[in-house]
Chains A and B, each alone.
Chain A
Amino acid sequence: MTPTRQQRPHVPGARGGRGSGPRGASRAQPDVQVTALSSGSAWHERRESGANVLEIDSLEIEAVASGSAVIDDVSLALRPAEILALVGESGSGKTTVGLSVLGHFRPGLRHGGGTVTLYPSHTDRPAEMTALDDAALRRLRGARVTYIPQDPALSLNPGIRVGEQIREVLDIHNFGASAEERTERVRSVLAEVGLPGDDAYQARYPHQLSGGQQQRIGIAMAFAMYPDVLVLDEPTTGLDVTTQAQVLDTVRDMTVRHQVASLYITHDLAVVSEIADRVAVMLRGRIVEENTTEEVLGSPQHAYTRKLLAAVPDLAGRNRIGETAEPGAPAGSVHEPEAPAGSSAGFAGRPEAGSAAAAVRAAGASAVVLEVSELGLAYGENTVLDGIDLELEAGECTLLLGESGSGKTTLSRSIAGILDSYTGRVCYRGEELAKNTRQRTLDQRKQIQYIFQSPFSSLNPRRTLGQSLAVPLEMSGELNAAGRRDRVKDALDAVRLGRQFYSRRPGDLSGGERQRAAIARALVNMPSVLICDEITSALDVSVQASILALLRTLQEERGLAMLFVTHNIALARHIASRVAVLNKGVLVEAGPVDEVLDTPQHAYTRELLTNVPKL
């Protein structure tokens, strides 16, 4: 829990303004009007007393096709000015529960039983969200209960100006008494979320805003009608840490200022610790644990919660994620041993201590496997990369850190020879590589392997893993069919999938299993350099932890030089021995992990480090 929360400025004017003014005069048609009643009403008293604004009781949601329960016996309650985090991994049903608060069930799902009761502020009668007709639901949605979606780029209408999209909510729900008042409200809510409210800004289309600004538009839209209940569905997932910190601040501030009861859906426990008052943990459609944030994060009761916590990478590197968080690991083993006493917590077992790397060094051979010098790339006027110098040593992992648009993927693709329009040199064991991978020698191609971000799109769904993994071997053409089969099976063993996966197809596999298969494909040619491009960012934290553990093992077993590209600085101490920070195409900082994280030299690195949410 951050102590700063209680110190946040409380803006009395904003709340005082709710009861007074034209909204107070709108009581004439209580069923049509959905703006809040003035103070003194029964609802107002209810809120002042801190009673529940929303109650979910024994909610059951089932799949239409099979009739099986997707959500089973979920009960939650939301109180004013309080943020309840709903935590779970993908597929746990947290979004399904969140949408049921708005009485919405996605196609293929239906309400099976239980109730979702809203106590809206515009009337004294509670509303049963699962039983209302469409018209009644529409009156509440966007007014009394609102939604902030995960990806603003997808959920803002690309063809409507942003001001108009906010204005639409006010128009539909008859906000205020006049058009002028609505115009004024659009302006004021934009100001509240920290955006300029002028006409020129309102006239922009979503594509003309940055991701952070788009999400603020989503927040403004959700707060425009002064709602009673707010559902936030992973609103910061696509944002970089700095923007995420700002958006979290805004959400927190608005929730407290307007006494909104919020349900914050996320898989990120670090974010939870920054923003939530209470936490409910979901596993396969059920709530397994619910308590205050301190209790859940500090002394988790359920094994699954402990597993989730153990899998969260922390900047300090205290818990070496993945060591015991293998999927299917017995629940009892989740508890992390304390780091060795002393100041250098977590130093033991660092990747550079790997036996193969040590052997290389002991032999006195030059450990530099790959050397990038003066690498630059520009598209016309637009410089993407500028003067990049980077060295990768055998048995060492370098974390290449950068936010979206920093050029990190461009750099890794240039090194791999997928992009060939760069200037500068990439040398493998002292020998300059041709720019395009097609011009490189067979051995050079085999030695440098690339793993893509999304395991869902990098494996051909029509081929078995055996077929997909044999392709690199067919390309190198050194082994016969039997030899290739053995090599592929060995690789499947090496990534802890096992050779029984040889004839399975990607469709039967989970995300983590697919990424293991993709890693195996990179390993079949026995490379010495592995480029991992955001390979864990599409995965849940517990899967990420197990993949990181696998990479550490492989690195130690094989003495691989690894470039681990990521936007998540918290992974640094868990995988890498060196860190290189890329900002707008320039390497602003590079060095050993501890040096960079403990004494960052560049302002950009320092800013990143301050904005990382901490457990």
Chain B
Amino acid sequence: MTVLVLTQQLDPTADLVIRELHQRGIPVFRCDPGDFPEAVELEAHVSVTGAVTGVLRSAEREVDLEKVTSVYYRRPTPHRAHSRLNSTEQTWSEREAAAGFGGVVTTLGCRWVNHPHRNMAVAHKPHQLAAAARAGLTVPESLITNNADAARDFAEAQGKAVYKAMTGGPDTGGEARTASALYTTLVTADEITPGVARTAHLFQAWVDKACEVRLTVVGERLFAARIDARSAKAHVDWRADYRNLAYSPIEPPSGVGRAVHRLMSGLHLTFGALDFVVTPHGRWVFLELNPNGQWGWIQLATGQPIAAAIADQLQESSR
């Protein structure tokens, strides 16, 4: 039995899980897919029966693919081609690497937390909102449009509306190709310009909030952390002002819990980081689901044993 952890080298969140696995005596093979092909080797055979066998090898260790019983898919980086290739060759090398490495690991018949294809399927906010509502969660009225008039009409009708980027902000450029953070913005109709036509924009009704909740789901376990904003900026989007937040464990209403389980089951996800607003009347309103969201700081702030719960899932073998 071996747990394959796919993540970048500096990932303290993954370290929390790896330590749990070490303490349980469960072998771990940690690998950043970005190190393939230059620092990681793959030898995989696909037999005529569809069996996938072979090895994955780093400088320090190797793992028999048949012994991989679960995969923790955390923060892998893009494949990096040899620096001496020209740009055309690098692009091609990286594309082939993604097809080969990704094609092999994603076909391993084992438990995933979460399978990247499942993450991709639920990556988009409109999909999440619709799925959440169908599962029985309350969601804000939402408009996705590239029509400025429709956007203004919506903002007028809602009285108080927000804009949310669906994929973060523009790339910051450089090697990391990191999307810049672009936080929730309160918006009035007269602040909406014809530039809406340039792409899809997500507008939502503002939800009055007593507090917000980050609900981390690991299998059947729910870890809800109440987040209280202590600044105006944090009140609009708590991610915009981490220094002015307070955290405490909170129990979700039973109806919310059941709906969350229906949602996760319907989306075939084992892990999820869900964001809720709790209204002054105590109603939990679903905002979004990140199938690969951060959780390490929540555990450190609240003491909730999220790493242990993830290790529990990885320890269960499906082979």
Check if A and B associate. Answer: no
Footprint of B on A, CB under 8 Å? none
